Amino acid sequence: MNQYYQKDLYAILGVEPDADEAQIKSAYRKQARKWHPDINDNSPESILHFKEITEAYEVLTDEHKKSQYDILKGFNFKSSSYTSQTQAKKAYSETSSTRTQTEYKAKNKDTNNHQDKSTFSQVFENILDGLFTGESAPKKPKEEKKKLKPENGRDINLNVTIKISEAISGTNRTVNVLHSERCPKCEGRRFINGAKCPLCKGTGEISIHKKLSVKIPAGIKKGAKIRIANEGNKGYNGGKSGDLYLFIDIEESSFFKYEGNNVLCEVPITPFEAVLGANIEVPTLSGNVTMKIPPYTTTGQKFRLSQQGTGKNKKGDQIVTVKITVPKDMTEKELELYKQLKLISKHNVRENLLNDK
């Protein structure tokens, strides 16, 4: 059986056993302001007394606990026992200060004062400063709950990285969203019976993971923001839920570069392709396409592939820069042909290096 059944909770709060909830609340506020440890230099008697009045308040404002307590204690407002209970309450009030100091020394030799001070400071903030409004309030009739101020949920921001091909064609992506919700055990008050809530560890919130499938539209650019309504943190008292915002990042590519809506790339060609011309396969964001290399092409020459860039309404182009590359694994026959070409060639491609023209 809980220890509070052995105490006169009405006497602790200084109210009559027939006091209503408003009177109990008012008495607790006065007692809490008087006995809060922060106001009394964290004295042993204030710590113990504050625990007692908090316990008394929580029992007497809980309809079920109060009913059981009244039955077990024999409070009967229509009998003469009420008078004796009132007299006992007065005697208790006169001696409570001396008794609480004695009990504290006997039961709390190893109490960590710093921990108690922190705990009671949090309780004091949650119960007195908010003074029974919103999350810290005891249970109220339905008509009073409607008067609580709506609380909108917070937005959630999430970074999503996609590939270049996904940015061009669009994609569906499953994202893992971390929501914060009010703790269902302490209802956001952070403390239960003067101690930290065991479920939320005194934070007043719990974390919930949710997987969500989202559509990323085609042609999206790096740094774009996608809003998904009502997928943020939950709102309370009729408040709106927050939104989820996805911030898009596009993976860097060693082949493709970007310049506005245009896509840039560099493609190697062989010496004979540069001299004779050729049709070569070039990768684009939407697949390979055939590009014509004209005869006598030089390194650094640029070619434009129309409509192969990025952009939703107006697509850019793909600019291809060619680079003449000599293979490193040529056969003996290929080397012999190059030797013959060297013997018959009369060109000096470096003769005009110092000329202005």
Q: What tokens were used for 84? A: 């004796």
Phi, psi of 305 (to 5 degrees): -105, 110
Indicate the pairing of strand 262-269 with strand 318-324: parallel
**Which of the two residues, 102 and 275, has the higher pLDDT score?**
275
The yes-or-no verdict on residue 252 having pLDDT over 90 is no
pLDDT band of 248, cuts 50, 70, 90: very high
Query: What distance in Å separates the CA atoms of residue 184 and residue 204, rounded to the nearest whole number?
Result: 9
156-162/244-250 β-pairing = parallel
Q: Tell me how crowded residue 43 is: count the other CB atoms within 10 A of its CB.
A: 15
156-250 shares its CATH topology with 257-344: yes
192 C-beta neighbours (distance < 10 Å), count: 17
CA nearest neighbour of 163 among 39, 341, 285, 339 = 285
Residue 273 has pLDDT above 90, yes or no: yes
Question: 109 is written with which tokens?
Answer: 């030799």
Q: Could you give the angle at the alpha carbon of 254 between the alpha carbons of 253 and 258, nearest 5°?
A: 55
Q: What does the pLDDT average to over 236-253? A: 89
Res 147 pLDDT > 50: yes
What's the whole-model pTM score? 0.44
- % of the chain at pLDDT higher than 90: 31
Among the residue ranges 22-31, 131-140, 337-346, the one predicted with the least confidence is: 131-140
Phi, psi of 231 (to 5 degrees): -105, 15
pLDDT bucket at 282, cuts 50 / 70 / 90:
very high
Label each residue of 269-289 as H, E or C.
Answer: ECHHHHHHCEEEEEEECCEEE
- Give which of 303, 257, 261 is closest to 280, Cα–Cα: 303
Q: If pLDDT is split at 50, 70 and 90, which confidence band does 158 have?
A: very high
- Residue 298's pLDDT band, with cuts at 50, 70 and 90, is very high
Where does residue 29 rank: exposed (0-12), middle (13-18), buried (19+ CB within 10 A)? Answer: middle
**Considering all CA atoms of the chain, what is the largest pairwise distance in Å, rounded to the nearest integer?**
133
Which pLDDT score, from 0 to 100, does residue 195 have?
Answer: 84
Neighbours of 312 (CB within 10 A): 13
Beta bridge partners of 268: 323
- Among 88, 78, 81, 76, which Cα is nearest to 8's? 88
pLDDT interval class at 349 (50, 70, 90) = confident
Helix count and strand count (H, E) for the chain: 10, 13
43-52, 206-215, 221-230: lowest mean pLDDT where? Answer: 43-52
Nearest to 89 by CA among 27, 34, 44: 27
Domain ranges in the chain are 3-145, 156-250, 257-344
- Topology of the domain comprising 257-344: HSP40/DNAj peptide-binding domain (2.60.260)
**CATH number of the 156-250 domain:** 2.60.260.20
Single-letter amino acid, residue 219: G
Tell the CATH topology of 3-145. Helix Hairpins (1.10.287)
Residue 294 has pLDDT above 90, yes or no: yes
**Using CA atoms, how far apart are residues 75 and 65, in angstroms rounded to an integer?**
14
Average pLDDT over residues 327-353: 91
* Cα 21 from chain centre: 38
Using pLDDT thresholds of 50, 70 and 90, give the confidence band for residue 6: confident
List residues bridging with 269 in a β-sheet: 324
263, with CB counted inside 10 A (0-12, 13-18, 19+), is buried
